[in-house]
Amino acid sequence: MTAVAPAAFQQANIDYLAVLPLLIVFGAALVGVLVEAFVPRERRHTIQLTISVASLVLAFVAILFATKHQGLTFGYTDGATSRRLFALAIDGPALFMQGALVLMGVLGILIMAERFGGVGSDAFTASGASTPGSPIEAASARAGLITSEVFPLTLFAIGGMMLFPTVNDLIGMFIALEVLSLPLYILSGLARRRRLLSQEASLKYFLLGAFSSAFFLFGTALLYGYAGSVYFGDLSKAVSDTSLGLNGLLVAGAFLVFVGLLFKVGAVPFHAWTPDVYQGAPTPVTGFMAACTKAAAFGAILRLAYVGLDTASWQWQNAVIIVAVLTMIVGAVLSVTQTDMKRLLAYSSIAHAGFVLVGVLAFDQRGVSSVLFYVVAYGFSIIAAFGLVTLVRQDGGEATHLSQWAGLGKSHPVIAGTMAFLMLAFAGIPLTSGFVAKFAVFAAAIGTGGATGTVLVVIGAVCSAITVFVYARVIVLMFFSEPADDTVEVLVPSVGTTFAIAIGTLITFALGVVPSSLLDLADRASQFVR
């Protein structure tokens, strides 16, 4: 390929209505940064919260309008080939994911904003820059400093997440990956209590995230070497053009790109960060990550698997099958011995990622819609579950050890009952969203995945049977055990947190009893544009 001098500047044509949701979220994040700089401290929390929630709601409305503007956009003409290349694909899966992310983001932010009567968010440290245990830390807490930066950071992350399943080329995908990751690294390190653990989690997440990004980039380079383009459409075409004999580049490139994405969903063997980060990060952030990051990353995986590398699926699917099997087994088996609530939910999220991967491997439209349904169903449940974790306290700190949950059913039946219901949803018991979601992915896999799909489903069914034990244990512990000691208390949440937990739980129930509307929606939204 000969080098061509860049053509004269060309205006990219942009359908602004189609990208309006993204613009709103990123714009609000920037406004949030300005608020940090100019608004007095005591009013920041309220203003930031208002901006965040309002912008997300507004973005949701914009998403509804954007459904009328589906198609490829953000295009420019490639000087060398005079072809139009598009950076963004506003289509069913992308908009479905954006809508889900925005709504789950609202719930996540409401829980993050919980103050329990304090000046700033209860979960976040007064000063992230101070050394844990140092006089500066104590002084900043006394001075009433707050870390209201978490709101714009979260908005940036949500923006990146919305971009993640929307992008139409590998470079764009990498940018989205970094945009969503960087704020999360910071958020993970901002816990108010057990700060060393939090900072350790943050650093680990950052190091391993950088490591996986490197793989993603390396894979991108290999694929570029193979196809001469990073656009998904070109990749797909290059693969179907059989004259290319560079299979080595394709196989390795495709898998390495997947590594970068599988890392984000916490698939085995790229999962090692998950339990540590989930445990160390402030609990509201953990809930947000578990719901939104996972959803966004699965959106990206879908686009990569069904648009960019669809024609090469036989090259990489074995690798993803191995990963899916490992993920289900390791997630399920390791969750059995967990003694910390947050780690337990972390391993459970790993197992769930495995189940979703089974749906991805169905390779047809039904696979897409089942994955879309699954991540939404799981997202709302997990946000509510982590929201509940923030309420159970001992000596001011969160009581995350399972022994501290013993007997909670007797002292706080509503909290324990809600948690038990969510546990049943994670276990996939009928009349919860978890059951319908699992049924959808497994049915899709067995329907079109052939023998491999069947094997995956059998493994999946065995693994979900194992995880039932884990969840049942928590329920037994809450309802049938005597409390370990009496100092465990349950805080009374504010309206926002109550709302978030209640909505998450209600949706978990509603999607189990009347799942049709969302299944329909996911079904209608399962067509990618190319």
Partner 1 sequence: MPTALPSLLSSAGTYAAGLATHDGEAHAATGFTSYAWLLVALPLVGTAILLIGGRRTDKWGALLATALSWAAFLVGLVIFFQMLGRDAGNRAQTVQLYEWVTGGSFQVQAGLLVDQLSMAFVLLITFVGSLIHVYSLGYMEHDPDKRRFFAYLNFFVASMLLLVLANSYLLLYVGWEGVGLASWLLIGFWNWNPAYATAANKAFFANRVGDFGLSVAMFIMFFHFGSVDFTTVNAGVAGLQGAHQGFMTAIGLMLLLAACGKSAQFPLQSWLGDAMAGPTPVSALIHAATMVTAGVYLVVRSHVIFEASPTAQLVVVIVGAITLLFGAIVGCAKDDIKKALAASTMSQIGYMMLAAGLGPIGYAFAIFHLLTHGFFKAGMFLGAGSVMHGMNDQVDMRRFGGLSGVMKITWITFGIGWLAILGVPPFAGFWSKDKIIEAAFVGEGWRPWVFGLAALIGAGITAFYMSRLFFMTFHGKRRWTDDVHPHESPSTMTVPMMVLAVGSALLGLVLGPTGAITSWLEPVSGAAAEHEPVLAVPVLMALTLLVVLAGAAFAWLRYWRDEVPLTAPAGNLLTQAARKDLYQDQVNEALLMRPGIHLTRSLVFADGEGVDGAAGGLAALVGGWSARMRKIQNGFARSYALTMLAGIVAILGALWVIQ
Site for partner 1 in 29-48 (CB under 8 A): none
Q: C-beta of 150: minimal distance to partner 1 in Å?
A: 24
Q: C-beta of 369: minimal distance to partner 1 in Å?
A: 7
**Which of 31, 119, 217, 251 forms a contact with partner 1 (CB under 8 A)?**
251
| Residues 486-515 close enough to bind partner 1 by CB under 8 A | 513-515
What DSSP string describes 206-258? HHHHHHHHHHHHHHHHHHHHHHS--BHHHHHHHHH-TT---HHHHHHHHHHHH
The Cα 270–Cα 273 span in angstroms is: 8
The tokens for 396 are 């001011």
The tokens for 87 are 């950076």
Residue 311: CA count within 13 A, CB half-sphere: 16
Stretch that binds partner 1, among 26-34, 56-64, 228-236, 432-440 (CB under 8 A): 432-440
Placement of tokens 């309008």 in the chain: 65
Q: C-beta of 160: minimal distance to partner 1 in Å?
A: 22
Stretch that binds partner 1, among 94-102, 121-129, 171-179, 444-452 (CB under 8 A): 444-452
The Cα 43–Cα 137 span in angstroms is: 22
Closest CA to 53 of 195, 149, 171, 154: 154
- Which of 46/339 has CB closer to partner 1? 339
Helix (H) or strand (E) holding 146: none
Helix (H) or strand (E) holding 131: none
Closest CA to 180 of 299, 93, 343, 13: 299
Closest CA to 422 of 383, 393, 374: 383
Q: C-beta of 93: minimal distance to partner 1 in Å?
A: 15
Q: C-beta of 333: minimal distance to partner 1 in Å?
A: 5
Q: C-beta of 114: minimal distance to partner 1 in Å?
A: 28
- Which of 21/359 has CB closer to partner 1? 359
Contacts of residue 26, defined as CB under 8 A and 6 or more positions apart, other chains included, come to 155, 156, 159
Stretch that binds partner 1, among 133-141, 161-169, 178-186, 476-484 (CB under 8 A): 476-484
**Which of 63, 107, 110, 256 forms a contact with partner 1 (CB under 8 A)?**
256
Report whether 333 contacts 327 (CB < 8 A). Answer: no
List the Cα angle 18/175/294 in 5-degree steps: 80
Site string for partner 1, 391-430 (x = CB under 8 A): ----------xxx--x----------------------xx
Q: C-beta of 473: minimal distance to partner 1 in Å?
A: 5
| Residues 147-166 close enough to bind partner 1 by CB under 8 A | none
Q: C-beta of 324: minimal distance to partner 1 in Å?
A: 12
The tokens for 35 are 């608020």
**Which of 330, 384, 416, 423 forms a contact with partner 1 (CB under 8 A)?**
330
Q: C-beta of 497: minimal distance to partner 1 in Å?
A: 24
- Which of 212/229 has CB closer to partner 1? 212
Grouping H, G, I as helix, E, B as strand and the rest as coil, residue 510 is helix
Contacts of residue 237, defined as CB under 8 A and 6 or more positions apart, other chains included, come to 311
- With binding defined as CB under 8 A, does residue 268 bind partner 1? yes
**Site size for partner 1 (CB under 8 A):** 80
Report whether 160 contacts 154 (CB < 8 A). Answer: no
| Residues 331-390 close enough to bind partner 1 by CB under 8 A | 332-337, 339, 365-366, 369-370, 373
**Which of 33, 319, 455, 529 forms a contact with partner 1 (CB under 8 A)?**
319
- Which of 465/492 has CB closer to partner 1? 465
- Residue 72's beta-bridge partner residues? 89
Grouping H, G, I as helix, E, B as strand and the rest as coil, residue 141 is helix
**DSSP one-letter code for 430:** T
**Which of 80, 208, 221, 529 forms a contact with partner 1 (CB under 8 A)?**
208
Placement of tokens 């540590």 in the chain: 276
| Residues 91-150 close enough to bind partner 1 by CB under 8 A | none
- Which of 256/307 has CB closer to partner 1? 256
One-letter amino acid of 506: L
- Which of 85/402 has CB closer to partner 1? 402
Stretch that binds partner 1, among 11-19, 105-113, 230-238, 265-273 (CB under 8 A): 265-273
- Which of 290/323 has CB closer to partner 1? 323
- With binding defined as CB under 8 A, does residue 286 bind partner 1? no
- Cα dist from 409 to 136, 485, 486, whole Å: 41, 14, 13
- With binding defined as CB under 8 A, does residue 281 bind partner 1? no
One-letter amino acid of 32: G
